[in-house]
Amino acid sequence: MGHKYSDELIERAGKIKLLALDVDGVLTDGRIIYGNYGDELKNFDVNDGFGIFMVKRSGIKCVILTAKASPVVTKRAKELRIDRVYQDFHYKIKALEKIRKRFRVSDEEICFVGDEIIDIPVLKRVGLAVSPPNAAEEVKSCVHLITGKPGGCGAVREVCDFILRSQGTWSEVTSVYFE
């Protein structure tokens, strides 16, 4: 597993049954680009997408939890076969209750990756709270783990790999690629 993660972090990650992800600043670098016709463009990292694919392959559910509604997010979520998208939730803690009920998971079985102060109430409740290094300082002070890679540049993949390794499912999920 490596020396990077404490036993407490590994234990927290070992309990995760659902991965919840913010979008802007987590799945993207936080920039929103508007085209000439008002269309919204976002950059997503393919490595993050593959990490989500592997986590889902291991049986962990994955949801998106974002304050902004965006057709681009809906499209990306569909491509990644995200289990559920919670958009337009400015009070994300309300969505957390819906997520817990729908997926029958406890707070300690949820990992949430967020980067902005709007994410703090959820980050304080979940079993594994994560932020990228580009997160607001207030966010970084209340998470269990800050990724090495920034949002939109592999942070989510880093979290996915960490969860899989902590749960001992990394080899099983990736073995097909090493045959």
Q: How confident is the model at residue 118 (pLDDT cuts 50, 70, 90)?
A: very high
- 96: alpha, beta or left? (left if phi > 0; alpha if psi -120 to 50): alpha
* Cα–Cα dist 35/126, whole Å: 37
Mean predicted confidence (pLDDT) in 56-81: 96
Cα-based angle 121, 50, 39 (whole degrees, multiple of 5): 70
- Provide φ and ψ at 23, rounded to 5°: -105, -75
Mean predicted confidence (pLDDT) in 6-24: 97
Q: How many CA atoms lie within 13 A of 121 on its CB side?
A: 11
Residue 62: pLDDT over 70: yes
Superfamily per CATH, domain 7-171? HAD superfamily/HAD-like (3.40.50.1000)
* Cα–Cα dist 139/143, whole Å: 7
Cα-based angle 155, 160, 166 (whole degrees, multiple of 5): 125
pTM of the model: 0.95
For the chain, which residues make up each domain, given as ranges?
7-171
pLDDT at 35: 85
Give percent above pLDDT 90 in the chain: 89
